[in-house]
Structures are given as C-alpha cells and as structure tokens.
Structure 1
Amino acid sequence: MDKRKELLGPDHPDTLQAISNLAATYQHLGRYAKAEPLQIQVMNKRKELLGSDHLHTLEAISGLAVTYRYLGRYTEAEILEIQVMDKRKELLGLDHPHTLQAISNMAATYQYLGRYAKAEPLQIQVMDKRKDLLGPDHPDTLQAISNLAVTYRYLGRYTEAEILEIQVMDKRKELLFPDHPHTLHAISNLAATYQHLGRYAEAEPLQIQVMDKRKDLLGPDHPDTLQAISNMAVTYQYLGKHAEAEALDIQMMEKRKELLGPDHPDTLHAISNLAATYWHLGRYAEAEALEIQVMDKRKDLLGPDHPDTLHAISNLAVTYQYLGRYAEAEPLEIQVMDKRKELLGSDHPHTLQAISNLAVIYWYLGRYAEAETLDIQVVDKRKELLGSDHPDTLEAMANLVVTYQNLGRYPEAEMLDIQVMDKRKELLGPDHPDTLLAMASLAVTYWNLGRYTEAEALEIQVMDKRKELLDSEHPDTLEAMANLAATYVSLNKLPEAQNLLVSVIEKRMQILGLNHKYTQSSIKDMYDLRMLKLKPTATKMMYSQQN
C-alpha cells in the first residue's frame, strides 16, 4: 500500500485496491475499528473519481456495510446494503451474480436485526434465481440453500432447516468430497440443528467428525478447527459433560489468546464460553471474574452499546442472580433492556430476551406482579412476531407458568403447562429436553394442586427418559430424581424418597462439589424429608451462551 501511494499516488485505482485489501485483512483479524476508516476513505475516493454508481464504488460500499455489521451497527449496514442492492438491480439486472450477492447480504443483516420474516423471502429469491441460472448443484446455489436453513433455524422451523442442511451436506459430499471445508461446514450446521432439536446424541458424532477432520486437514490452530472445538464444548454442556466442556473451552481460549491476542473478538467469545461452563458447574465466582473481563474489554474495544457488549452485561447479570445478588443484577438487566429497545427496537428477539431475563430477576425478588406483566408482554409479542408454535413463544409461556405457580394461580398454570407440553410433543417430539421440562413443570403444578399421583406418573416418566437420553448423572436427571423424592414424601413413600435423595446427594457431591447450590439444596431436602415438608421445585435458567 505504501509503495503504491509513493509510486502511483494516493488516488490511483491500484492504491485504493491495496487500501481496500488492508481493510479486509483488518476485518479478518477482528480489528473492525481499523478497517472502517480505510473503507470510508476508499468509498469516498471512488465516489469522487468514479461516481456513486460505479461498480467499484458499490463494492466499497458493500465492504463497509459488512464492517458495520461486525461492529453491531446494523441500521447503518442496512442503509448501505439497500443502496447497493437497488443500484445493482438497476445497473446489472436482477439476475446478475453481484445483485444476488447484494440481496443475500441484505438478508444477512435482516437476520442480525431479528427481522427473520424479511430475510426469508430474500433468501428464497436468491436460492431460486441461482437454481435457475447456475443449476441446483452450483456452490453458490448450495450456499443460498444453507443460508435459508439458518433463517429457518432462527424461526424455530427446525425440521425444514434439517431437510435443507441434509440436502446441502449430501450434495457437497458428492460434488466436492467428504473432507472439503464446505462439506465440513454443512455437517457442522446440521449438528447445530440437531442441538436445537435436542438430538444431542446425533449432534455429538457429527461435531467430533468435523473437529477431527479439521485438525487433520487444517491443523489444530486453524480458526475453523477452533470453532469446531467450541461447538463440541457446547454439545458437551447440553449432555451434562461439563468437565469435557471445560477442557475444550480452556484449550480454545488459550489457543485464541496465543494466535489472535487477548483482545480479539474470537478470544473474548472463548472466554465467555468458558464462563458459561463455570456457571453450569456452579463455579459462579470464577464465572463472574471472566464475565467482568469480557464485559470491560468489549466496552473498550466495541463500545458500551455493541450487541456483544450487551450480551456480556446480560450474562454477568444472570451470574449475579444465581449468586443471590439481585440488587446488582437488576440494574444491569434494565440497562441491557433499555439499550436494546433503543438500538434494536422493542420487538427484536434480543430485546424480548432481555425483558424475559428481567422478569426472572423480579421472580427471584418476589415481585411476582411485575414479573407477570413482563412475562405476558413477551408472550404476546412472540406470538405476534413468531407465531404461537415458535420455541421462543413456548419458552415465554413456560416462564409465565412459573410466575403463576409462585402467585398460587395453579389452574392458570396448569392450562399453560398442558398447552406448552402438548405443543412441544407435537413440534419437537416426546423426548426433547424442552418437552421433558414442560412435563416436569406440569408435575410441579399437579403437586401444588394436591394431585400427587398424577405428579408421580409424570416425574417417573421424566426421570426415566432423562436417564435413557442423558444418563443417570446428568444435572437434569438428578433434578428429576429430587422432584420425584418430594412427591414420594407427599404420597408417604418415605423409603423410596430417601433412596432417591441419598443418590442425588452422592452424585451432586461427586460432580458439582459440596458447596454447589444444588448439592446444598439436596442436603436441605434430606433435612426437610426428615421433617416431612419436602416439596418439588421449578426453576428458570436463562443463561445465554454464545456459540
């Protein structure tokens, strides 16, 4: 770049291309603040020298839009992308590859804005056009199909996503080869959908395959290899294999520090994931220290309003919540909610998640009327924006159930419990973790209504299924055993209750340690059993892990 400036001058096309290339490198390094001024310089110079409609000018505008997207400035990205898309349609026609790429970029920004209903038709348009012009097997067509599958995943249409992802994976295996990076990416996407479907046993071997192949082909330090390790760690968390998750998270964090530096967005992402693992292990003090580090770094590097910064603040609020520091959690979650309303709008999925998280804090503070107001707001908005059957809508309804339980409004809780359970059985299947969670919640409601036999039947079913699908030591299995023990007490089946609680205490001490809140809760339950006042509990866990 410097040589071209010296030999050709700062405005020569080759000099501007060199500046653009340097900006692209900064993008890949995660140094978006350094990329932005270079891209603005190139864009302005090309406008001046070539005109606003020149293809090279539009290319510069498009590159700047991508940087804005990485910086979380989605509205600015949207404005630029609409400009590029409209101009390319006018100058090149709807069918030109550059026009289709502009439409695809626009759809990606709509995804980040949570406007999935606007992203979907654009992606279908790109997919159909590429099929017509390039054929169904062209790499660009397969990429369009893959992008649409991601939107379906965001929309909670996991079965449709799965169908498309299998199609892309099979075609790439056939046309490229099983070990091609694009094929491995397709396998990774399918594994992510299996995660959402609760089919962790199917996700795990796919992710191991991707991780091992990338290590072989790209090396252990390649960014794609590290991403595969990160994905594997998330699946281990879902499977309750927290020790395995921790080992992978630490490996990934240290590698990213070494290769990218401690301040790179991907390094901070890795630290955030390790904090989530510590949180699941009940090591809240360690989680807190990492979360504060991530939050402070993101404030410095990305700004206090960046989506990743707000995500870090929200995670810290959840940790404070589990440490019982509700007075510290509440202002953080209010800050996140208010900022998301301002920057993303009241209806954005991330805004609604912040409102939902604040409701949980109010629930812990015993401010059930305030929690109810927020829960109802989230339920109504998600129904309107996503539909009654979307997983996020059903999650909001399940959260409202817990508030009704705490308000003693058990008939209303029962009605919602049954609705959520039936929908999850229909949409996700009877064995999905969310379906089992809904059954467990209904059992709690039945217990509070004094319908102990019905509660017992559901709790046995949940416990047996979790043992089969997760294993007998998974935290969710142990929770099911503890709840069944409480119901046995109410049914005067005291030996059965004691046997379950002894097993739960032993397993939690072994896996989580004596001082973990769940271990301590089980020990208290044993005391309550002896006092004949044990009862089952329903919990809300709202930790938002990046992956």
Structure 2
Amino acid sequence: MSRPIKTVSIVVLASVLVFAVAREGYVKYVQDLIFGFDELERARELTLSGKDLVNQSHYDQAENLFLRALHHKEAALGIHHPEIAVDLENLGGALAAQHKYVRAEISFRRALTLKESHLGTDHPDLVEPIYNLSAICGFLGKNSEVELLFLRALSIKENTLGPHDPGLVDPLDRLTTFYDNHSRYADEAPLFERSLAIKERVLGDHHPAVASALNKLALLYKSQGEYARAEALDKRSLKIKEQILGPGHPDVAGSLNNLAQLYVSQRKYAEAEPLYRRSLDISQKTFGEEHADVAGILNNLAVLYDNQDRFDEAEQLFLRTLRIREKVLGPSHPDVAGTLSNLALVYKKLGRFTDAEALDERSLRIKELTFGPDHQEVAGSLNNLALLYTTQGRLEEAEPLFAR
C-alpha cells in the first residue's frame, strides 16, 4: 500500500531541514555560487563591449569597461586566478593605445606573473605576454629589460622547439631588430645569420623571403665595413629575385639600388651607375614618372654624379627629385628637406652661394617644424648654414649657428 502524498511531503521537508542544520552555511554557499555566476557574466559582457570599443578606436571608454570587467572577475575568482591575466592584458592594451605606458606596464607585468605562477617559467604560452611587456618597456626607454625579455622569449622557444625550428625565426628577428636599432651590429650578425639559415632550410635557397633576408644581412655587413661579404649577399639576393619575380619587378629594382649604394660606399662609381639606371627604368615603368620610389633612385643617382663632380647632371636630377617629392609628399616633408640640402651642396661647389643659402634656410625651417628645435637633424642643417656663412667670410652670422 503506497504512502499518502501528504506524508511524503512532510518527510521531504524534514529531510531538507535536517540537511540544512547539518550543513551550516549551506544557504551562504548557494548564494556565493549565484553571486559568482553573476560576477563572471557581468565581466564577460563588459569585456565584449570593451573589445567592440577597441575596434572603434575608443580606447578611453574601453579602458573603463576592461577595468570594471577585471574587478568583477577578481570578485568572482580571486585576484590570483589565472583567468585574471586575460583581463589584465585587455586593460594593458587599451592603456598602451592611449600612451599610458606606466599603467600599461603594471597590467602586463601582473598578467605575466599570474601566468608564470600557473604555467611555470618556461612555458611557450609565456612568449606573447613577454612580448607585450617588452613593447611597453621599449616605450618607457627600459632597453636593458627589453633585451632580457627578448632573450628569455628566445630561450623558451629553444627549450620548447629545439635550436633549428622555424618557430625561432620570430624571436630571432625581434632580437636582431632591437640590436640594429641600437647599432649593436656585432651582437646582431650571428643571430641574423641563424635566422637566415632556418629560413633557407624551411623555404629553400630561392624563396623571396630568403632574398629579403639576404638584403638585410648585406646592409648589416655594409654598416660594419665588410663590403665583400655584403656584395656577395646583395648579388645572391638580386639573382633570386630576377629568377623568381622576373627582371622587371620592382623588388628587383630595390636590390639593384642596394647593390649600387654598396658600390658608392666603396667609390666604385662606374659599377654603381648602370645599376641605378636600370633600377630607375624599372621603377618608372612600374610606378610612373612621379612616384616616391622614382624620386629616391633619382636622388641616389644625383648623389653619385655629385661625387664625380658632374654638377650639372647632379643639379638636374636633384631638381627633378625635388619636384616629385614636393608634389607627392608635400612641401614640408623631411625628404624634401634632405633634397634641398643636397641641392644646396651642389650650388656651394658651383659658387652659387645665394641659391645655396635659400635652400639651406628652407631645409632648416622644415626640419625645425618636423623634428623640433633640438633635434640632431636640425643641428645638421644649422651646421650646413654656418659653414656656408664661413665660406663667404660671414663669421658673425656663422658663430651663433655653430654655438646653437
């Protein structure tokens, strides 16, 4: 015979009451679960809205939403939970986009620390947060720490992937770029060679990416005065590009220009001129007569003529360069200032001091406007103008420019 429904309800109720008494704090436990769920849901919604604002470049508003999301996540999970790192990275990105680098550093550093505590100090997932922090340290001028962070990222990749894996190319290239920016060419060269060797093994000897790497390594050797090694690399890069892209490709023009500049550095003007002319012909056919790339090659060819005392030819090419750059880049562009200085130098050699002075003064104004009064580019223009005054015996006008 079945038990009456009323009796069952009383039994169930009694059981619940007993359970509640036995588990003191059960109600609070359930409330905490509900609270935690609500906090995480709020954090998720705020994060999605923040990312939408980032996509719209509204970084200040995104910062506020990411900060609120972080607070909700911390309330739900605690401040040491590994998921907090994601919110810190979102916040750090929004802060960095607003140039709030000190606060961004705090966020990215804390995110890295949280991931280290969860993953250990040698996990591959640490590489990206290391890069985030290194970027901020770079903006803050903490170059020693940037180097250490890049070296650590490389070490993690090596320990994880081995010394020859393609995954090492990225950290190697980041480190070589850092050394190049700080003129530490002796440190840069072996890492660049290692990166190149990996690319050659993975992509083959005749890949465009290998050709580009050869060009960059050649520039590195050129900066160290190792012209023979640089020449061999430039020639090899040119050959690859001609075979893969064809002899009339603009990338071939770039390699021709690089090799010509290398010859100019060694005063091998006869070897340089035909390379410049071929590079110019390719660029004009590709881009037209009035293009920034065309202007760059014209400027290089004009410098070559100036070095050979072919002043009339140099003047005509500098004037053509100036017209193109003014039209394409605008009359106040730094490249225009450089062309003005080059043309002024030709006029000085021809004894046309009035023309040279006008050009040097205009170049100085552009650089002051672009870089500010205390930049080294401005110092160079001041020196040019002072030397011009000295050549004319105008020492009283030259002296304050030298002093400045």
Change (3 A) 1:346 1:252: farther
- SS state at 1:177 partner: helix
- How do residues 251-270 of structure 1 correspond to structure 2 at under 5 angstroms? 253-254=150-151, 256-257=153-154, 260-261=157-158, 263-270=167-174
Counterpart in 2 of 1:276? 180
* Count of aligned residue pairs for this structure pair: 300
8 A Cα contact 2:250 2:286, kept in partner: no
2:381 counterpart (480, 492, 496): 480
Change (3 A) 1:499 1:417: same
CA distance in 2, matches of 1:225, 1:465: 39
What is the identity, as a one-letter code, of the residue corresponding to 2:377?
D
8 A Cα contact 1:275 1:291, kept in partner: no
CA distance in 2, matches of 1:178, 1:292: 42
Instruction: Tell me by how many angstroms 1:206 deviates.
Output: 11
CA distance in 1, matches of 2:100, 2:199: 28
Deviation by residue 1:306-356 (Cα, 9 ceiling, x = unmatched): 333333322222232233332232112111111111122223332211110
- How do residues 335-350 of structure 1 correspond to structure 2 at under 5 angstroms? 335-350=236-251
CA distance in 2, matches of 1:463, 1:427: 20
Larger CA deviation: 378-387 vs 211-220: 211-220
8 A Cα contact 1:207 1:228, kept in partner: no
- How do residues 257-336 of structure 1 correspond to structure 2 at under 5 angstroms? 257=154, 260-261=157-158, 263-279=167-183, 283-336=184-237
Whether 1:179 and 2:83 are equivalent positions in the alignment is: no
Instruction: Tell me by how many angstroms 1:483 deviates.
Output: 2.5
Q: TM-score under structure 1 normalisation?
A: 0.47
1:424 counterpart (325, 330, 334): 325
Change (3 A) 1:251 1:308: farther
What is the identity, as a one-letter code, of the residue corresponding to 2:369?
E
CA distance in 2, matches of 1:322, 1:460: 31
Counterpart in 2 of 1:410? 311
- How do residues 309-458 of structure 1 correspond to structure 2 at under 5 angstroms? 309-458=210-359
Deviation by residue 1:439-494 (Cα, 9 ceiling, x = unmatched): 12211222222212222222222223323321344343333233333323322234
Change (3 A) 1:214 1:335: farther
Change (3 A) 1:294 1:391: same
Instruction: Tell me by how many angstroms 1:404 deviates.
Output: 1.3
- SS state at 1:264 partner: helix
8 A Cα contact 1:360 1:371, kept in partner: yes
CA distance in 2, matches of 1:397, 1:465: 21
8 A Cα contact 2:248 2:282, kept in partner: yes
Change (3 A) 1:210 1:304: farther
Q: TM-score under structure 2 normalisation?
A: 0.62
Deviation by residue 1:376-427 (Cα, 9 ceiling, x = unmatched): 1111111111122221111111111111111222122112212221221222
What is the identity, as a one-letter code, of the residue corresponding to 2:171?
T
- SS state at 2:277 partner: helix
8 A Cα contact 2:221 2:230, kept in partner: yes
Bigger relative contact order, structure 1 or 2 (CA pairs below 8 A, ≥6 apart): 1
Larger CA deviation: 422-431 vs 482-491: 482-491
Change (3 A) 1:411 1:338: same
CA distance in 1, matches of 2:294, 2:211: 22
Unaligned runs of 5+ in 2: 1-48, 60-93, 113-125
Instruction: Tell me by how many angstroms 1:496 deviates.
Output: 4.9
CA distance in 2, matches of 1:378, 1:362: 14
Larger CA deviation: 296-305 vs 405-414: 296-305
Instruction: Tell me by how many angstroms 1:270 deviates.
Output: 0.7
Q: Percent identity?
A: 26
- How do residues 158-177 of structure 1 correspond to structure 2 at under 5 angstroms? 177=52
What is the identity, as a one-letter code, of the residue corresponding to 2:192?
E
CA distance in 1, matches of 2:360, 2:305: 20
Change (3 A) 1:398 1:363: same
Q: CA RMSD in A?
A: 3.9
Change (3 A) 1:403 1:182: same
CA distance in 2, matches of 1:373, 1:321: 20
Instruction: Tell me by how many angstroms 1:370 deviates.
Output: 2.1
What is the identity, as a one-letter code, of the residue corresponding to 1:414?
E
Counterpart in 2 of 1:534? none
CA distance in 1, matches of 2:313, 2:394: 29
CA distance in 2, matches of 1:350, 1:228: 35
CA distance in 2, matches of 1:295, 1:402: 32
CA distance in 1, matches of 2:50, 2:361: 48
Rg comparison, structure with higher value: 2
CA distance in 2, matches of 1:401, 1:231: 41
- SS state at 1:324 partner: coil
Change (3 A) 1:437 1:287: farther
